[in-house]
Amino acid sequence: MPLRPTPDALRERAFAVFSEAVHDARFLDLFAGTGSVGLEALSRGAGSAVFVDRHRSAARLIRQNCAAFGLEADRVLVLVRPALAAVKELAARGERFSLAWADPPFESWREGLDALEAAFSIGLLGVEATACLECPERAGVEANLSQDLRVARDLTGGASRLVMIEKRG
């Protein structure tokens, strides 16, 4: 049965911060899993979403969930690839996003940060874009963040942390 997007507390807080920025946004959902974050963005007015997950079973579930919500094919793209490979492929196609979200398995949080940093460095995410990384509360994001990026907001809840990253300047 398809999943109905029900945001957790951190996700709800993040979307409150995004506020109007999500309206008509191009949304990138890395490590998408069920697609709940991208579906939440679409339900809040995002113009389109690209869902990326390396597992075919996750991609099937995302497609089912998108169909259950009656989302038109021109608003949704599902890619079965590792996050970093998808970022490079989307940039090579000339794609651009204003919001991105990475929710890797906690033990692989660094892989999520690497994908987001690459998205900024190759222009998939621009100066006005915001990227979110879900990670363990004690993840050393700041210590591993490239110098041209900054932590704009840091939301915590339980053992989880949501770090909002933007380009400096």
pLDDT, one tens digit per residue, over 142-168 is: 999 999 999 999 998 778 899 999 999
Percent of the chain surpassing pLDDT 70: 96
Residue range 27-63, pLDDT digits in tens: 999 999 999 999 999 999 999 999 999 999 999 999 9
Q: Does domain 23-137+155-161 have CATH number 3.40.50.150?
A: yes
pLDDT digit string (tens) for 75-87? 999 999 999 999 9
> How high is the pLDDT of residue 141?
95
Quote the pLDDT of residue 5. 35
Q: How much is the pTM?
A: 0.92
Nearest alpha-carbon partner for 100 in 28, 19, 34, 16: 28
CA distances to 16, 64, 65, 69, 120 from 76, rounded to whole Å, are: 23, 12, 11, 12, 22
CB 52 within 8 A of CB 29: yes
Question: Does 3 score more than 50 pLDDT?
Answer: no
Q: Assess whether pLDDT exceeds 80 at residue 6.
A: no
pLDDT for position 4: 37
